[in-house]
Structure formats: C-alpha cells, structure tokens
Chains A and B, each alone.
Chain A
C-alpha cells in the first residue's frame, strides 16, 4: 500500500519555458503532500507543503510565483516550474503519507529530474 506516482521521470526543457510535474497518491487519499528539491550530492530540501483545496505553504527562500503548486483533489498535486532557468535544474520529489496513519513513513514518488538548457 501507500504508493505515490510521479510523472514525468525526467524532462529537458529550454530556458524560459514552464514545466509541470504531477504527483498522485494511487491507493490512498492525501490532504497534504510535500515537494522537495535535491541538488547533486545534497540532501532533500523541503520546498513547499501542498494542501488540498487551499494555498500551498512555501518554505523560506522559495519563490511561490515561480514554483506554482496546485492540489486540486485528494490524490493529485502538481508543481509547475515557470520560466525555468538552468539553475532550476534539479531532482524534484514529492511525498505524502496516508492521513491518520502515524505509524507509516512518508512515501516518496520516484522523482523528476529536470534539466533546463
């Protein structure tokens, strides 16, 4: 149980374009999902908390107008990197945990490797 599907696995885009990444909980509902970014040989840094039906909560230093998060349903959250630039190239990972299951760890999607050229 507790499977999170993330698409695409990788994407290469031109500088200035926008990229959308999807994160779906397949067998559970998630009122809250989390988006992380990981640069090479570094830890996963939390970018934002996605809340179903309300605005996302962004961590300090993360531009909310650049990283648009939409959590339209209990099983889907999307991250759109707008006007991407080479410095946005990174590994983006979403995670979620079934509501009310304190004994479960957070399940991660398989990640999306974004390369901006």
Chain B
C-alpha cells in the first residue's frame, strides 16, 4: 500500500528549512528516502530501520516513528542542489518490495 507524503510541493529560498512527512497505514519494517532529479533515476539518501531511529548526513536528516508508522525528512539550510522530487519508500515485513509515495517536489530558489 502506497505511503502518503506531504506536502506535495514546496518552494524554499536558499538557507531555509523544510520538513517532508511520510505516513503509512500498514506496519513498517523500514523507511527509505530518495531524491530524484528531472530525467534521472532516484538517488538513495538514507534508510531507517528501527522505530525511533534518527539519522543524518550533512544537513539532511530523518526520523522514524514506528508506532505512528511515520517518518519525516528534515532539510536544513537548504541549498540549490537540494531541488528535486523527494520520495519516501516503505518496506513491510519480509522481503517485500519498496513501495513509493507520490513524492514531494522541492524547489530551492536563490
């Protein structure tokens, strides 16, 4: 079942922060975050495996609330290079495939 992402789109000025949310109606084994530039394949950002886990790389971080079946991606002090469509993907128990949300289109302007 497809996770629900919000917002659908957001426009930021350089240096501003943003939060992208992802929720599922089913129990989750893991949450994956990807960024896709126009015409390119998705690029893996990070995976969260345990409820309550938080992870980050440079100014992009994420959290996973297993009980609420929700995850959030935090972009701090956004840069122009952050522009793209962000997808969360969820995996249920077992070797089930990755199912993507509809994506959040992020545009960072100067």
Contacts and interface: CB of A to CB of B under 8 A. Distances in A.
B22 to A, nearest CB: 12
Contacts of B49: 102-103
Contact of A95 (B2, B47, B98): B98
Interface residues of A, number: 23
A109 B44 CA distance: 12
Contacts of B30: 102
Contact of A108 (B42, B95, B103): B42
Interface string B34-69: 100001111111110100000000000000000000
Nearest to A35: B97
Contacts of B99: 46
A106 B41 contact: no
A42 B47 CA distance: 22
A110 interface: yes
Contacts of A93: 41-42
